[in-house]
Structure 1
Amino acid sequence: MEAEFKIQMVGCEWSYQIWETLDTYFTSQTRVQIKQLKIQLRSIKKTSSITLYLLEIKKVVDTLAVIGAPLNVEEHFDAIVDGLPDEYDGFVTSILSRKDPYTIKEIEALLMTQEDRLES
């Protein structure tokens, strides 16, 4: 990466040119990272406990927020329900049919309760 910076700085005579070059470089790197994180988010599937599944989603959602690309509640909700197995379809339908939407924390709590019911 250091060599890449040196190559990009060749031809810069003024400090503003260096700053513009750095801004362009880091902006493109951030865009790439945002794209990769959103792909990663879509690929997360519930394969173990609901707690681990939700934590994996939360890590990606939090990282997106830190780098300046926060998800709205609907996108976060979609990420959660998209990776659930078919046995959660009834649960998802009941959440979607509610007039007043749940918060993410409420959905997470309900999912943990649903997992307990499915396991017993």
Structure 2
Amino acid sequence: MTGTKPLQVHVEEAGLADLVEIREGDALTTLAANLPETIDLVLLDGAKPLYPDILALLESRLRPGAMIVADNADYSPDYLARVRSPTAGYLSLLFDGDVELSVKLG
């Protein structure tokens, strides 16, 4: 669209470029390598059926207290079952009708 700035420009203007990494492309490919040692925040807003697979790729890097924001998570019942399971290690709740907000516990 004319007149819109790329997300990276907004990140830089906010002074967060050293804290935010944006990866474009197939998430199962772009997140399969070169991950940071720890991850504090994940925003899932893509192909809903991939949410469980993406979580599996990132899970070992999520620090305790890391947040996962999953847009339209109701279209990914397997993802919801995972983050809502009492044994999965997450505290998860529905936020704003269709956003699942999850926090990685200990």
For Structure 1 versus Structure 2, the TM-score category normalised by the shorter chain is 0.3 to 0.5
Give 1 or 2: higher helix fraction: 1
Task: Choose between structure 1 and 2: higher strand proportion.
Answer: 2
TM-score (norm 1): 0.30
Larger radius of gyration: 1
